[in-house]
Structure 1
Amino acid sequence: METTELVEVVLPGTVEPEGLRLRHGSVPAPGPGQVVVAMEATGVSFAEQQMRRGRYYDQPPFPFVPGYDLVGTVASAGEGVDARLVGRRVAALVKVGGWASHVVIDAADAVPVPDGLGAAEAEALVVNGITAWQMLHGKARVRAGATVLVHGANGGVGTVLVQLARAAGATVIGTASARHHDALRALGVTPVDYRTEDVPARVRELAPGGVDAVFDHIGGRSVRDSWRLLAPGGTLVSYGSAATRDDTGSKQWPVLKILGRVWLWNALPNGRRAYFFNIWAGRAFAADRFRARLRADLTQVFAAQRRGEITAQVAAVLPLAKVAEALRLAESGTVTGKVVLTP
């Protein structure tokens, strides 16, 4: 029987995972153009790890409900929404609000999930899949025969990215701690241990002429090393500042430093390119175009999954009531893929 109670996780401030709170209330009603999605799966992303420290560069003021993306069934629809959407399983990118049993979203942001794809597996492909697809095909434009370096190849984005790169015909080098190397080899990746090896030196051994693309979520010194590892005509895609997760001070400064480096490097006449990838770029100025691109790219990711080119890597599935455990597990660095929460 469908529950009539709303359960959501509240992040009250800069707290340890055990400081997250469960809040109960009434299921919201959709407004015009909106739907209520009964959440079946939502994920623990790196963004939430930063948010609980107050380190995500554009997070809302505390308190708020985290949750970057979700998969669920449309429970009700507001005025102006096609009633046939009710009962459909959909995915949505929301940035915040996903850690809840019921989530109100604009109907235009709901992307259909193919039949036969489980909620947890689909969830592991939403923000991770869109990010990986847009960086690989939209920014770096990786083609068959290329060699790419993926930092954090065992992570949520990394596991999707290496599979998409292999499907595109690229040779993939991936950094991860030794415990993840067998899993990466099974995906066709040449692993490099960032804890015990000199990563730039090892990558130069594997790709003496440089790599055609680097995908760097670490920031700091790593992004500078990544730029130097590029072959002529290569592309660096930076998409985070994980190295500063536990720092204090301005949460915007690490991103601004990367943006400054990207601007400087692109001004150099050497044929290489650098980007700072922001999945939300363009939404404020061209919402319809943003939604169309997001829908098209996620549909491509789901299609790649159905073709067997990628397998969703679900590290663990835990209920909302165990969100502290889920967050600690995601932050531990011991898992491959994505930690998923269910109602």
Structure 2
Amino acid sequence: MTDQTLVQVVLPGIVEPEDLQVRRAARPQPGAGRITIAMEATGVSFAEQQMRRGRYYDQPPFPFVPGYDVVGRVYAVGAGVDPALLGRRVAVLTKVGGWASHVPADARDAVEVPEGLTAEQAETVVVNGITAWQMLHRKARVSAGQTVLVHGASGGVGQVLTQLALAAGVTVIGTASVRNHDALRAAGVLPVDRTANVPEQVRELAPDGVDAIFDHVGLSSVVECWPLLRRGGTLISYGTAATRDDTGSKQLPVLKILARTTLWTLLPNGRSASFFNIWAGKKLNQDRFRARLRADLTEVFGALRRGDITTSIAARLPLAQAGEALRLAESGTVSGKIVLTP
């Protein structure tokens, strides 16, 4: 591979992980206002698992390069971009395009990674950290002394979410497989068996209800847990994990949740519900969206440096083995972030 070669992993269609394609091409120069990032770490998230099946609700048409986020050094800058950015380690939320040796981005989307964090450490909290922080502090606006229910407390977003909540003085009830309960207890979480009657277990732990619920499972879970909210509480849905292997419309599961949560919020019941979309508001006000994302990711990086949150890396694989990494992520046999490196 020459110094000017771009390497990308391409998702050609609805294929098995082993059928991802590696593409090599000449590396383009960044245009005005843009930068090129030499990737040091990118991750495998649930989004890519859905995209492989054509199930992510607003994914681009095939073929495309997956990769929801990327961390790396600024390799080149276009016209109008401060050349002082060259060589600096930055993180960018991309949605797609991160699975590449060099990733183009708008310079305004780059958030500098603070000293003391490695690229891999930073990668573990980009999409997961922003999602957790915004749901917890911008949507639910939790405060010390409250109690929340986190579905998938051992998952990517769930781990960060529970730790941020605990750092804020919040009591956390978390659903997970029984094999993960000891680790949750050690972290200060009240574990609930996700395979048993979840509402019954939660009521035993919080007889008066919970102040917030964070659900990534889908509509059936949202409906089941809505009655667990106390007055003034809020339910935030942020995924449809239960539909990952379904067929048919990829938008319908999200639309059903949007309709249900909107109806509940309009009713005079003293509770609210919503569907969280990390990209909400970007088209309406890009400057505000960027400022909010920069502020929130900076907060998450700070929490990581202080030790308020810790993350684990389940596996590190080279970019060319992205298919193997995706298969491992889909197996459900590992806990922690799967990271791709150059």
**Same fold by TM (over 0.5)?**
yes
Question: How many residues are treated as equivalent by the alignment?
Answer: 342
Tell me if the contact between 1:154 and 1:335 (Cα under 8 Å) persists in the aligned partners.
Answer: no
Q: CA RMSD in A?
A: 1.2
Cα deviation for residue 25 of structure 1 reads 1.2
Query: Does residue 92 in structure 1 map to residue 111 in structure 2?
Result: no
Q: Gapped runs of 5+ residues in structure 1?
A: none
Cα deviation for residue 234 of structure 1 reads 0.8
* Larger mean Cα displacement after TM superposition, 108-117 or 225-234: 225-234
Give CA-to-partner distance per residue, 1:6-63, whole Å, 9 cap, x none.
Answer: 1111000001111111111122210000000000001111110100000000000000
Classify the secondary structure of the residue corresponding to 1:131. Answer: helix
Equivalent-residue separation in structure 1 for 2:46 and 2:136 (angstroms): 19
Q: Gapped runs of 5+ residues in structure 2?
A: none
Cα deviation for residue 116 of structure 1 reads 1.3
Tell me if the contact between 2:116 and 2:305 (Cα under 8 Å) persists in the aligned partners.
Answer: no
Classify the secondary structure of the residue corresponding to 2:303. Answer: helix
Equivalent-residue separation in structure 1 for 2:203 and 2:312 (angstroms): 29
Equivalent-residue separation in structure 2 for 1:8 and 1:183 (angstroms): 37
1:143 alignment counterpart: 143
Cα deviation for residue 220 of structure 1 reads 2.3
Equivalent-residue separation in structure 2 for 1:321 and 1:15 (angstroms): 17
Classify the secondary structure of the residue corresponding to 1:266. Answer: helix
Classify the secondary structure of the residue corresponding to 2:131. Answer: helix
Cα deviation for residue 4 of structure 1 reads 2.6
Change in CA separation of 1:145 and 1:2 when aligned onto 2, cut-off 3 Å: farther
Tell me if the contact between 2:154 and 2:176 (Cα under 8 Å) persists in the aligned partners.
Answer: yes
Give CA-to-partner distance per residue, 1:187-234, whole Å, 9 cap, x none.
Answer: 211111212x21111011111111111100011210111211111111
Q: Which amino acid aligns with 1:313?
A: S
2:233 alignment counterpart: 234
Classify the secondary structure of the residue corresponding to 1:256. Answer: helix
**Aligned residue runs from structure 1 range 1-343, under 5 A:** 3-195=3-195, 197-343=196-342
Cα deviation for residue 179 of structure 1 reads 2.0
Give CA-to-partner distance per residue, 1:61-88, whole Å, 9 cap, x none.
Answer: 0000000001000001000000000000
Equivalent-residue separation in structure 2 for 1:37 and 1:324 (angstroms): 22
Change in CA separation of 1:80 and 1:250 when aligned onto 2, cut-off 3 Å: same
Equivalent-residue separation in structure 1 for 2:248 and 2:190 (angstroms): 37
Cα deviation for residue 2 of structure 1 reads 8.7
Tell me if the contact between 2:174 and 2:192 (Cα under 8 Å) persists in the aligned partners.
Answer: yes
Cα deviation for residue 277 of structure 1 reads 0.3
Classify the secondary structure of the residue corresponding to 2:322. Answer: helix
Q: Which amino acid aligns with 1:40?
A: E
Classify the secondary structure of the residue corresponding to 1:259. Answer: helix
Cα deviation for residue 183 of structure 1 reads 2.2
Tell me if the contact between 1:11 and 1:21 (Cα under 8 Å) persists in the aligned partners.
Answer: yes
Cα deviation for residue 155 of structure 1 reads 1.1
Tell me if the contact between 1:120 and 1:317 (Cα under 8 Å) persists in the aligned partners.
Answer: no
Equivalent-residue separation in structure 2 for 1:334 and 1:74 (angstroms): 34
TM-score, normalised relative to structure 1: 0.98
* Larger mean Cα displacement after TM superposition, 17-26 or 70-79: 17-26
TM-score, normalised relative to structure 2: 0.98
Q: Which amino acid aligns with 1:46?
A: F
Cα deviation for residue 328 of structure 1 reads 1.5
Tell me if the contact between 1:180 and 1:336 (Cα under 8 Å) persists in the aligned partners.
Answer: no
